[in-house]
Amino acid sequence: MSAHQHAEGQLPHEPEKATLEGRNKVLGFWIFLGAETVLFGTLFSAFIALRHQVLDGPTAQHLFELPMVFASTMILLTSSLMSVFAVQAMHNNKVKAMIGWLLITILLGLAFLGLEITEFNTYVKEGHTLKTSAFSSSFYTLVGFHGAHVAFGVLWIGLLIAQILKKGLTVVTAPKIYLSAIYWHFIDVVWVFIFTVVYLMGKVG
């Protein structure tokens, strides 16, 4: 029960925090994100230590193309803003607008994945496979894990849209929308470090 009196059937302000269960979900999710930080951090540490070990394979300078990385970065950054708008629409109780923003979010997520698949495909053709060198293994593990998180996010938000269409926006479904947005921002935050450490530093040498 919310501390405030609300008219029957009306959604409370900030419905994601209106119930104890909702607040607990938010707290639990942040602890999960702390663990995710460690997961990505350890993959980063392996990559940073091994990024010059290319053996006979192509080097980072040879492989990476900045325009493509920049395009991916813009797509993910924009989709992060779109999920901010989705949460704001939720706070204004505009369910249709919220679903619209969520749809744009996952479309941009799919565009990002498409670019990543094209990119990996090009690399494999240039002889940069998972087994080529310590550099290539740590590269695919780190960037691939991030890509898998994007794919999971797309799936998750897609299912949430279906659930909203079926059950509507309630104090039970609202925390899920809020947390999927937090998750999506986290994925974008990880990407900031990936384009910095993997691509830009790789290009510098």
What are the residues binding another protein (CB under 8 A)? 3-4, 13-14, 27, 30-31, 33-38, 40-42, 44-46, 48-50, 66, 70, 73-74, 77-78, 80-81, 84-85, 88, 91-92, 182, 185-186, 188-189, 192-193, 195-197, 200-201, 203-205
Distance CA 114, CA 80 (A): 17
Distance CA 5, CA 195 (A): 48
How many helices (H) and strands (E) are present in the chain, helices listed first? 7, 0
- Smallest distance, Å, CB 58 to another protein? 18
Structure tokens that stand for 174 in this block: 């609202």
Is residue 11 within 8 Å of residue 174, measured between CB atoms?
A: yes
List the one residue out of 65, 69, 198, 70 whose CA is nearest residue 135: 198
Is residue 160 within 8 Å of residue 80, measured between CB atoms?
A: no
- Smallest distance, Å, CB 148 to another protein? 19
Between residues 162 and 204, which has the closer beta carbon with respect to another protein?
A: 204
Between residues 34 and 162, which has the closer beta carbon with respect to another protein?
A: 34
- Smallest distance, Å, CB 28 to another protein? 10
List the one residue out of 163, 166, 175, 179 whose CA is nearest residue 15: 175
- Smallest distance, Å, CB 184 to another protein? 9
Between residues 28 and 127, which has the closer beta carbon with respect to another protein?
A: 28
Give the number of C-alpha atoms closer than 13 A to the C-alpha of residue 198, restricted to the C-beta side.
30
Between residues 59 and 124, which has the closer beta carbon with respect to another protein?
A: 59
Between residues 77 and 162, which has the closer beta carbon with respect to another protein?
A: 77
- Smallest distance, Å, CB 143 to another protein? 16
Distance CA 105, CA 80 (A): 7
